Amino acid sequence: MKRIYVPVVFTLLVALNASIPIFAQPQIELTQPLPPLLPPSLSNIQLLAAVENAFVDIVARSKPAVVSIIAKNVKRKPEQQSNPLYGTGFIFRKDGHILTNNHGVNGAKRIIVTLFDNRKFTAKLVGTDASTDIAVLKIDTDEDLPILPFADSDGVRVGQFAIAIGNPFRLDYTVTIGIVSGKGRSLLGDSNNLIRYQNLIQTDAWINRGNSGGPLLNIYGAVIGINSMILRPDGAPATDAVKAEAGFAIPINQAKKISDQLIANGKVIRGWLGIRMDENPKGIRVKNVFQFSPAMQGGIKRGDIISQYNGQKVEDTREFKFLIADSLVGEKVKITVLRRGKPKTLEVTIGEMSPERMGIRVEPQSESWTKLGLEVRELGKRDFERYTYLSSDDQGLIVGKVKIDALAPKAGIPRGALISAVNGHQIRNLAEFEEALKEALKGSEITFEIKTAYSEATEIVTVKLDGK
């Protein structure tokens, strides 16, 4: 039998004709001759017109859900002048919830959203997450708004079409088309006050300043990512108009998880281990262990090589960061380390990442902070989904931040603890907590009823006040 060798041809004509096979290998051995490339009844011009109409239809259906965003009176630093920022977003819930980038709206005193039909709204900032560069806005209307559906970004393939819609240089609803050029990209490292979580989709669809927050679509008009960054020719992330060879988008699966938490609680709750790390041929090497961290309490030491996390082999620091962040606060995990070449399995209770490590500046001025070293917040509607030791029936306040050398942390109240009573008085909100605390501060000691990740049941902690 005669054998025929056919090279791969990347062509729109083949990709859009369902009756024609697409070959994925550089050279494929066939036992039968190929059918004609084009159906006899369809001319080249007709097929190109079908391709053109497909893109036009996707754009026409998608544009009404894309919005332009102006963030006014934005000051990143006190010495900076206040200038408006122009960006893009898209509606993903019919009630007016909008996804965009954190870097385009965080710090703004006023956010103006313009819809496709030129209606303007002042948007509420529901929540932001600097670690992933995601923000959620909300506009109020009496009608259901058009939305963009989500694709499954885990299934995105390198080489598939990608369509970007946005407002670069205030050129509203600019459309560009390219392909997905790569996956799993990470451009920016962590800093002292910000741990980043990047798993970016790379595209050659042209995007530039002002595209930030806009959708990256597949050929079905579903969102695969949020356009977020461009790379300058010198390799640095670009903030101004440049010749950008690569654009990057946040995978929509990641954005959905973050937006769900922002809508439910106005913040993101992440698991925290408390180590600095780098990669090692045998796993993840522990460079440093933070004081009073879950890692220290669980017995992890500097120089350990983490080889398994809950039985799963770990080798990549980026993937390991995601594993920790997605773990529930209070979850007891098995971590296998190599210590002096010998394996050792430790049980570690996952803690909650502090606001500072997520880029949130917190400067409490309350009496609970200044006198006890506790910053507290009210329970969110879905906090019990992220804390293993909470239930939907619990009431009280969550400790969001502690001052390590202050009275309450020294007495045994950790970050993430639920305070349900002060001196025997049950509390359900900040007002009740402040009233109970004001009265309690008149005495020589205060008792707190708390639940934590480190105890099986509610416990009583006594804080002795200085000088009393």
Question: Among all residues, which ones are annotated catalytic?
Answer: 103, 133, 212
Alpha carbon 275 to its chain centroid, in Å, reads 20
- 3-state secondary structure string, the chain? CCCEEEECCCCHHHHCCCCCCCCCCCEEEECCCCCCCCCCCCCHHHHHHHHHHHHHHHHHHHHHHEEEEEEEEECCCCCCCCEEEEEEEEECCCCCEEEECHHHHCCCCEEEEECCCCCEEECEEEEEECCCCEEEEECCCCCCCCCCCECCHHHCCCCCEEEEEECHHHCCCEEEEEEEEEEEECCCCCECCECCCCCEEEECCCCCCCCCCCEEECCCCCEEEEEEEEECCCCCECCCCCCCCEEEEEEHHHHHHHHHHHHHHCCCCCEECCEEEEEECCEEEEEEECCCCHHHHCCCCCCCEEEEECCEECCCHHHHHHHHHHCCECCEEEEEEEECCEEEEEEEECEECCHHHECCCCCCCCHHHHHHCEEEEECCCCHHHCECCCCCCCCCEEEEEECCCCHHHHHCCCCCCEEEEECCEECCCHHHHHHHHHHHCCCCEEEEEEECCCCCCCEEEEEECCCC
The sign of the CA dihedral 200, 201, 204, 206 is negative
Q: How far is CA 81 from the centre of its chain?
A: 29
Reported as half-sphere exposure (CB side, CA atoms, 13 A), residue 279 has a value of 9
